[in-house]
Amino acid sequence: MVYDNVVKEDNKGTKKINELMFFKCEEDLSEILIIKAYGKYGYCKYLKEIFGVENYRIIEEQNAIDELEKYLDRIIGKKLFKDEQKELAVKVNIKRNGKLMKSYDTLNSGFIEDGIDFLIKADTDWNRKLEDGSKNKQYGKIYWIVYKLIDNKNNN
């Protein structure tokens, strides 16, 4: 980028900037900032935008989504109380400003964003007794239930 321009008289030299190389470095740096803004696998996502590719999946991301869907399939219809809600939030792993998001609304928006056909709804357990007649220790506590969304277009 900077080179010496030798002057024959008096063995002197001057420094000059290769403007084309300077411009190329600035362009590269701006592209690197864009790639970093995409986050993990940013270069792949950047190339997707450059080439206009609509459908693509990164294998590691797809494996993580498949693993999450298997976990969600196992807990469909189960009442999830505080500890299980936290476990689900950790598995979904949605972060904003470095903090793990734990609300069911945020998790639902993450499902929509990733194309995962599940929904979480919250409710409060008002049953004083369990089915076996014992006292309900979760009485008055909020729980989540995971539902799998069904695409009616494919069923007809």
Which residue segment(s) compose the domain that 90 sits in? Answer: 59-155
d(CA 156, CA 23): 58
Is the Cβ–Cβ distance between 139 and 128 less than 8 Å? yes
DSSP-derived secondary structure letter, 101: P
Q: Which helix (H) or strand (E) holds 118?
A: strand 118-124
In this predicted structure, what is the pLDDT of residue 154?
56
* Percentage with pLDDT > 90 across the chain: 40
| Chain segment 75-85, per-residue pLDDT in tens | 999 999 999 99
- Name the pLDDT band for 123 (thresholds 50, 70, 90): very high
What does the block give as tokens for 2?
Answer: 């900077």
| Chain segment 62-72, per-residue pLDDT in tens | 888 889 899 99
Domain total of the chain: 2
24 and 100 housed in the same domain:
no
Tell which phi-psi region holds residue 140, choosing left (phi > 0), alpha (psi between -120 and 50) or beta. left
23 and 88 housed in the same domain:
no
